Amino acid sequence: MSQKYTIVHFFSPIAPSTNFSGSLWPLHTTLLDMFILGGPLQALTKGLTDLASLTAPFDVIADKDAFFGPNRDVLVTLLRPSEAMTNIHEALLQSLQELSPTFDHPEYVGTGFVPHATVQKDDRLGVGQAYTIQDFSLVDMYPNNDISRRAILATLPLSR
């Protein structure tokens, strides 16, 4: 199994190196969909650290509910389109390019990016409310080759 990663923002603080069940994600928005890295993890971490230091926190607004997934049965809250959200997605994508990433779902990257937060069992965004994106986290999708777990490798504060 190839090592996979994703980059997300958690809406509530999550301790660094938290390991959680893949079926019990904390409330988050995916900033860059799941990918296999074609270069060293250390280079990715450095690039993400540099990007975070050049990026200012920004607000997003929970816009409306929708259904995603192949059967249109996954309830999500769409985030109102914003230049800041598009910019961070594009900057993350650009920072990975020299590391030759392979995306699980390239249709959700670039022009296919649709900012949203999946409604969780006990947590969701409030429609019409503003939320601040003040950091992003690199998540290992298969820590210790365990497909059922997820681990936060780093959370980087936006600090421009």
What would the mean pLDDT of 101-120 be, rounded to a whole number?
96
Tell me the C-alpha distance between 108 and 10, whole Å: 19
pLDDT for residue 141 is more than 70 = yes
pLDDT, tens only, 17-34:
899 999 999 999 999 999
Give the Cα separation of 105 and 133 in Å (integer): 24
Task: State pTM to two decimals.
Answer: 0.96
Cβ-contact 119, 50 below 8 angstroms: no
Q: Which one-letter DSSP state was computed for residue 120?
A: P
What is the per-residue pLDDT for 1?
A: 59
- Each residue of 53-86: pLDDT tens digit? 999 999 999 999 999 999 999 999 999 999 999 9
Nearest to 6 by CA among 115, 92, 114: 92
Distance between CA atoms of residues 62 and 68, nearest Å: 16
Q: Alpha carbon 33 to chain centroid distance?
A: 7
Residue ranges of domains in the chain: 4-157
Structural Rg of the chain based on CA atoms: 15
Q: Yes or no: is domain 4-157 CATH 3.90.1140.10?
A: yes
Q: What is the percent of the chain with per-residue pLDDT over 90, rounded to a whole number?
A: 92
